[in-house]
Structure 1
Amino acid sequence: MKVATNMHERRRAEMYACGAWKDMIITDYLDRAVAATPHKTALVGYRVQAGDRTVLTYGELNQRVTRMAAGLAALGVGPGDVVSCQLPNWWQMNALFLACVRIGAVINPLMPIFREHELRFMLAHARSRVLVIPQTFRHFDHRQMIQGLRGELPNLAHVLVVEGDGEQSFERVLLERAWETECDTGRLFAERRPSPDDVVQVIYTSGTTGKPKGVMHTCNTLLSHIRPFCERHGLSEGEGILMPSPLAHQLGFLYGLMTPVYLGASVILQDVWNPLFAVQIIAEERPGLTLGSTPFLADLVEVATEHHQQLSSLKTFISAGAPIPGALVEKAASLLDTRIVSAWGMTENGAVTTTRPEDPMHMAVISDGLALPYMEVKVVGEEGQELPANQEGDLLVRGSSQFVGYLNQPELYNVDAEGWFPTGDIARMSADGYIRITGRSKDIVIRGGENIPVVDVENMLYKHPAIKSVALVGAPDPRLGERLCAYVTLHDGTAQPLTLKDLTDYLLEQQLTRQYLPEYLEVMDELPRTPSGKIQKFKLREMAKELFLDRKIHA
């Protein structure tokens, strides 16, 4: 099945002409690494709760990729078919993506925190042919959850369970049978080789319309970001990359899954975040780079006083997802031999801007960086006019790593004729091109680097029998960036007071992901509104700012 995109010939021609896009796909870099250094460590996987460690060389990784790719093809997965996976940071995720590319299939990574509410929509919308899940992760039974959804997913032909048993066992179906001996894999992979402009990834992002959107990327859009990113930060095949951020998030996918293969470097995966366990990993594996949202950095800094020497190999921490508090950077500078780099981006583009290694440390506090090569940003006013330096306005972006559309929703591809994409962020730009995100026009809250789909959660709360009106906003938090606050009014005659537990219990009954639950509730007589009746969320955000100061929300 060919996946329809919003790709235009003009953009393709321009990107090839400027050298941003090349005739390469990610498995070309895997082949290069296998040929050059087959015995080099490609991946080290730590499973915190299981207490085990898996090591794969490039040769071993390629063998598993080959077998899995041939096995998927034998299961009926064809070019353009979607293979979804709800996996933690386990080696199976890395291998599954590469296997999909080998046969022209599309990977659809799903966050392990998603539950029935999110998966019911995403798996149906993507028309997923195969789903790979863990049996259990963090004491949650994923297999049981999916069994309850199968009847609603007519396109889902196969569910494969890592460490499962019986006919659904991932190991039994894809690894124990020597699929590569039952077909000519060289011919199969040559026939199925995707174009660099074919979709290889669909990843869902929380929007403002109440439902997630499936962002589509090609090898060209993804690799045209990775190349200049690695060049700016001096990354090479000798780099060890620690990846504790979820591989199912674009940050983890780009830098924990694709970048190591592109470089021929080693990646160290940690499946459950625990800062003391991360200290042990860093001491053992000696990575030079890690990436994550602000909470990862804050937690590492907290343990650095007693473990400074064990963290000495970590030379660069690239932080994205929320502004980095100045006090945190100062503390990190005093406790770690690590340069802090700030970055800004989105699922639709990957990282668009970053500070540079040669920039003064304080730039990571006051700025979200400078656009990478092949990317452009501009700040515009209400009439679309480009604004002078240091004036706030809407942030627009265009360039090589821009996505190629939303799956099955071409009408939502809000890119103008010149290629500019409205990010939904408010920003200002300095005279030398550094941007600073100052707010959002999009109605989202970002908690720990994860977008909360505010409109979707509000729509669920409007169905609560006691709630008349509701508005969700973020309260600033020094560790997580924001915490979700609910402001509601109740129907006349509501007998019982509404508590935060009532609210969260109701949302859990609706099968909402726990990470999307409000952490503060205030029942009001009236919500602030404009004369036309629109809720004035900016006033609620001002109220929410006081919550942390008043200790009504605790860090």
Structure 2
Amino acid sequence: MNAAKALEQTAATKADKMAYTFLGQSVTYRELNESVDRFAAGLQMAGMKKGDHIALLLGNSPHFIVSLYGALRAGLTVIPVNPIYTPDEISYILRNGDVKAVVLLDILLPAAEKLHAHLPSIEQYIVCESGDERAAGVEQSISSIYPKMKTFSYLLQNKSIFVEPEIEEDDTAVILYTSGTTGKPKGAMLTHKNIYSNARDIADYLDISEKDTVVTVLPMFHVFCLTVVLNAPIVKGATMVILPKFSPKEVFDAVKEHKATIFAGVPTMYNFLYQFESGDPTEFSSIRLCVSGGASMPVSLLENFEKKFNVQISEGYGLSEASPVTCFNPLDRPRKAGSIGCSISNVQNKVVNELGEEMGPGLVGELIVKGPNVMKGYYKMPEETAAAIRNGWLYTGDLARQDEEGYFYIVDRKKDLVIVGGYNVYPREVEEVLYAHPDIIEAAAVGVPDQDYGEAVLAFVVKKGEGLTEEEIIHYCKAHLAAYKVPKSVEFLDELPKNTTGKVLRRSLKDQIVKES
């Protein structure tokens, strides 16, 4: 079984069930599966063969779903790319990923023209009509790549017969490029087995069924969305309410209109929903489950959100290299605030020391993972693969601890650890205290060089109004943290830098410090 076969099976058993709704348009599983078949045939007609690499430069839309599943069904390897990346970032991924075809929105064609001169290996540009007035007539103006262009609708309307290739479970289905927080992005190769098994296991773990309606607002090119609110609902025949982008108002409206039952987001999204003045808790009453991932959620935010909206948030953990989910708070046992939960079905997690030896409850070490969801390796990077996967275990680079009942807690990223006078300070611990302050909206802590102690803690804060001062924050922290953990200084920002999934970018904050010094 693989993801494309799972869609075929769902379409066979739930043909008239609504697969998704998008901007007022609803499509059944039968219609979705037929579109995927036609697109797969269109790719073959265009000369694409099993094993070829195809990139998707698309936002949240039916174009993405049909392109993804059509390419997987045709045996291609899919490389989702953030469409708002810079031309240099996109160019690196397309070149490093040996991409032969690109599916993109028509409004991105001018950028594609600039890229084309440096990427002669791309054989096809498949253009999705957005209806955006900015794209009117743009195809005719791109003379340099026009001979290689076909429209998305043209591929869907073709009459060629789809010839299904033989797909093995260990064939590479998707290459996900990491965010590149340390050096150039690395392409995590996920097999058909990786992708399908994680979707199946998380769907079972979270008890997703055909009765559910899932808000799909996380970016589809990101692995969190890809598995939890796209592939998993399709495996079970649930309905997806696709939103093009995150907006608190649009989320509340969508939940109310469609009586959605599951919402998945990153902590920043929950913060915006909580802070949204017009957010009526009764409009969230149909939600049976909230899912959080992508970054650690401050406990104070989790508790405040749950109290206001009367719904439990199940926090989990994952990474691109694990397809991504390894842990989630269980639904059949108590949820523990601040925990990422327990190992999901078929996946093992454990905490080890520098020698790879498992550590006892309460002790901090590196979290490592094993299971059918773990990648086959980094594309064209054997040394990095050998460093990440040892004896079948994926070393995550995250520091964690496990309690007596098997619940895991992420302490921090190994590389974000701050050492003050020989003492370890985990930025998340400082941030938890800051988030608990009633006048702080967002906060981040980083380590900066210090002449006396080697490093010191610097806090970045987004505050409510103008009243709160640096002195008040430091005094507040002294009441809740050991002296060496207290921020030495505080900088106020209008907002914290984040990636497209809403994860706070500590490295950007550190880079900002370097530039200013």
TM-score by length of 1: 0.73
CA shift in 2, pair 1:483/1:127, >3 Å: farther
After TM superposition, give the deviation of residue 75 of structure 1 in Å.
Answer: 1.3
Q: Deviations over 1:214-252 (max 9, x none)?
A: 111112112222222122221111111111110000001
1:70 — aligned with what? 41
Q: Which residue of the other structure, out of 459, 470, 476, is the alignment partner of 1:544?
A: 459
Is contact 1:161-1:169 (8 Å) kept? Answer: no
Is contact 1:134-1:143 (8 Å) kept? Answer: yes
CA shift in 2, pair 1:334/1:443, >3 Å: closer
After TM superposition, give the deviation of residue 402 of structure 1 in Å.
Answer: 0.4
With 378-387 and 124-133 compared, the bigger mean Cα shift is at 378-387
Q: Deviations over 1:164-198 (max 9, x none)?
A: 5547699963424665523x32xx01xx1421221
2:15 — aligned with what? 38
1:112 — aligned with what? 83
Is contact 1:162-1:169 (8 Å) kept? Answer: no
Gaps of 5+ in 1: 1-23, 47-52, 137-141, 446-472, 488-526
Residue 162, structure 1, aligned to residue 128, structure 2: yes
- Aligned partners of 1:370, 1:93: CA distance in 2, in Å? 32
After TM superposition, give the deviation of residue 444 of structure 1 in Å.
Answer: 11
After TM superposition, give the deviation of residue 80 of structure 1 in Å.
Answer: 0.9
- Aligned partners of 1:377, 1:325: CA distance in 2, in Å? 22
CA shift in 2, pair 1:133/1:223, >3 Å: same
1:370 — aligned with what? 342
Is contact 2:199-2:227 (8 Å) kept? Answer: yes
Is contact 2:209-2:236 (8 Å) kept? Answer: yes
CA shift in 2, pair 1:26/1:306, >3 Å: closer
Q: Which amino acid aligns with 2:242?
A: L
After TM superposition, give the deviation of residue 530 of structure 1 in Å.
Answer: 11
Q: Superposed, which structure 2 residues align to 1:220-239 within 5 Å?
A: 220-239=193-212
With 27-36 and 424-433 compared, the bigger mean Cα shift is at 27-36
CA-based RMSD of the aligned residues comes to 2.9
1:132 — aligned with what? 103
Q: Which has the higher contact order (CA 8 A, sep 6+)?
A: 1
The count of corresponding residues between Structure 1 and Structure 2 is 441
Secondary structure of 2:208 counterpart: coil
Is contact 1:242-1:289 (8 Å) kept? Answer: yes
Percent pairwise identity:
24
Q: Deviations over 1:447-495 (max 9, x none)?
A: xxxxxxxxxxxxxxxxxxxxxxxxxx999585997669897xxxxxxxx
CA shift in 2, pair 1:64/1:169, >3 Å: farther
With 169-178 and 194-203 compared, the bigger mean Cα shift is at 169-178
After TM superposition, give the deviation of residue 309 of structure 1 in Å.
Answer: 1.9
Residue 355, structure 1, aligned to residue 355, structure 2: no
Q: Superposed, which structure 2 residues align to 1:417-432 within 5 Å?
A: 417-432=390-405
After TM superposition, give the deviation of residue 61 of structure 1 in Å.
Answer: 1.1
1:85 — aligned with what? 56
Q: Superposed, which structure 2 residues align to 1:84-483 within 5 Å?
A: 84-136=55-107, 142-163=108-129, 165=137, 166=139, 173-176=151-154, 180-182=158-160, 184-185=161-162, 188-189=163-164, 192-207=165-180, 209-303=182-276, 306-349=279-322, 350-361=324-335, 363=336, 365-413=337-385, 414-442=387-415, 476=431, 478=435
CA shift in 2, pair 1:208/1:551, >3 Å: closer
Q: Which amino acid aligns with 1:289?
A: I
Q: Which amino acid aligns with 2:232?
A: T
After TM superposition, give the deviation of residue 268 of structure 1 in Å.
Answer: 1.1
After TM superposition, give the deviation of residue 360 of structure 1 in Å.
Answer: 3.3
Secondary structure of 2:92 counterpart: helix
- Aligned partners of 1:306, 1:169: CA distance in 2, in Å? 50
After TM superposition, give the deviation of residue 255 of structure 1 in Å.
Answer: 2.1
Q: Which amino acid aligns with 2:151?
A: V
Is contact 1:319-1:343 (8 Å) kept? Answer: yes
After TM superposition, give the deviation of residue 396 of structure 1 in Å.
Answer: 1.3
- Aligned partners of 1:206, 1:54: CA distance in 2, in Å? 33
CA shift in 2, pair 1:269/1:292, >3 Å: same
- Aligned partners of 2:197, 2:11: CA distance in 1, in Å? 22
